[in-house]
Amino acid sequence: MSVLKRIFAVVLILSMCSAFAACGSTDEATPSSEPSKSSDAASPSNSDNKDKKPIYVGFVQVGAESDWRMANTKSMQQTFSEANGYKFEMVDCQQKTDKQITAIRDFIQKGVDYIVLAPNTEAGWETVLGEAKDAGIPVIIVDRMIKTSDESLFTAWVGSNFKKEGEDAVTALENALKEKGVAADKPLNIVTLQGTMGSSAQIGRTDGFAEKMKAHSNWKLLDKQSGDFTQEKGQEVMESFLKSYKDINVVIAENDNMAFGAVKAIKAAGKTCGPKGDITIISFDAVNAAFKAMIAGDIDVDVECNPLHGPRVEEIIKALESGQKVDKIAYVKEGTFYAKDAASTISSRAY
């Protein structure tokens, strides 16, 4: 080989090595889940990320009794994905507290890193959460709260101020009646479709509404019964109310699915509801289907209960992973939505 060819071959080899080195530097860049960093810091960070064991999250869900609950589940599933560095397992406990307790014990046996609990009812958790505490597993509670004399049994709670929601429903009713031109001093007969008895949402919404409605001496609560947060039971209870009471002016439905059931029962009885109807309906949750019901003229007002807890729970877990302290209680911001605004608002809703 001539000297010239040898020189050319050396230059070519050196060029190829440089190119491969450059490609290697690009491939070792910061993972997409991390902010951009300098190339000096990128390589070890990427290596650490590849070797890092996924965070194992066990989610004990109440069930799938409502549109709200399914949106809540979806938020958790999307947040705690494998791509985001998690091993996620969920148990649907079909609205049974005993199944939730069993699921918690199973997760303790599996050695999960975190337990996320959406409790069915407030009472009955001290023993099993004590077992989780003894195992060194942090418990994060979402949505409904628990009753306990030992707050060290759970690390944090994320959810809604249910009592305030009940109070907000009184304001919502006041405004809805004003929109209909109903005189403020006109006697009103009210029935309430309550949620699962003993749950935080049922207790808070029932108590909040009852306390604030005391300011209206002309409002009368005819009856209240549990529709268990389901459309079928809500319809069944509303049918019973309509048979028992001839003059119902207002229905307070403690979630949207029960409101949908109430609407069906009211229409089947030959009565009307909504902004232009005889019966005013105030609901809770504000899921997408409820906005459609408001647009259709079936529901007057909806008090929001935000189900997208996944990102909030992840913030807590990330803080705990980095050794930070977290707030014990975190209320989420929520609003009240009226039928007249539903058409212009529905496109911006995430659930």
CATH number for the domain that contains residue 152: 3.40.50.2300
314 found inside a domain: yes
192 shares a domain with 101: no
Distance CA(157)–CA(167), nearest Å, equals 21
Is the model's pLDDT at 151 over the cut of 80?
Answer: yes
Is the model's pLDDT at 264 over the cut of 50?
Answer: yes
Is the model's pLDDT at 276 over the cut of 70?
Answer: yes
Report which residue type is found at 114: Y
345 found inside a domain: no
H or E element that contains 43: helix 39-51
246 shares a domain with 142: no
25 found inside a domain: no
> What does the block give as tokens for 68?
């709200």
> What does the block give as tokens for 208?
């909040």
218 found inside a domain: yes
| Sequence-distant (≥ 6) Cβ neighbours of residue 181 within 8 angstroms | none
Phi, psi of 302 (to 5 degrees): -135, 125
Distance CA(38)–CA(29), nearest Å, equals 9
Extended beta strands in the chain, E state: 55-61, 86-92, 114-117, 139-142, 156-159, 188-194, 219-226, 250-253, 280-285, 301-304, 329-331, 336-338
pLDDT tens-place string over residues 302-343:
999 999 999 999 999 999 999 999 999 988 889 999 999 999
Mean pLDDT computed over 190-205: 96
Is the model's pLDDT at 31 over the cut of 50?
Answer: no
Residue 163: its pLDDT value, please? 97
Residue 9: its pLDDT value, please? 43
200 found inside a domain: yes
27 found inside a domain: no
148 shares a domain with 134: yes
183 shares a domain with 117: no
Distance CA(93)–CA(243), nearest Å, equals 34
Q: Is the dihedral of CA 231, 236, 237, 242 positive or negative?
A: positive
Residue 248: its pLDDT value, please? 98
178 shares a domain with 253: yes
| DSSP symbols for 78-100 | HHT-TTTTEEEEEEE-TT-HHHH
Q: How confident is the model at residue 25 (pLDDT cuts 50, 70, 90)?
A: very low
223 forms beta bridges with 191
Distance of CA 152 to the CA centre of its chain: 23
187 shares a domain with 67: no
253 shares a domain with 312: no
- pTM of the model as a whole: 0.78
Q: Lowest mean pLDDT of 43-52, 108-117, 157-166, name the range.
A: 43-52
Residue 110: its pLDDT value, please? 98
Residue 52: its pLDDT value, please? 82
Residue 333: its pLDDT value, please? 86
Mean pLDDT computed over 139-152: 95
Q: In what order do the strands lie in the sheet with 188-194?
A: 219-226, 188-194, 250-253, 280-285, 301-304, 336-338
Distance CA(253)–CA(182), nearest Å, equals 20
176 shares a domain with 260: yes
Mean pLDDT computed over 136-157: 96
28 found inside a domain: no
Q: How are the residues of the chain apportioned to helix, strand and coil, as percentages rounded to the nearest 5?
A: 50, 20, 35
User: How many structural domains is the chain composed of?
Assistant: 2
Q: Which domain holds residue 104?
A: 54-158+308-331
Is the model's pLDDT at 21 over the cut of 70?
Answer: no
pLDDT tens-place string over residues 70-95:
999 999 999 999 999 999 999 999 99
348 found inside a domain: no
Residue 194: its pLDDT value, please? 98
275 shares a domain with 197: yes
Q: Which residue has the higher pLDDT, 122 or 25?
A: 122
Is the model's pLDDT at 214 over the cut of 80?
Answer: yes
Mean per-residue pLDDT of the chain: 88
282 shares a domain with 190: yes
195 shares a domain with 122: no
> Of the candidates 305, 323, 343, which is a domain's last residue?
305
DSSP 289: H
Is the model's pLDDT at 188 over the cut of 90?
Answer: yes
Residue 51: its pLDDT value, please? 64
238 shares a domain with 127: no
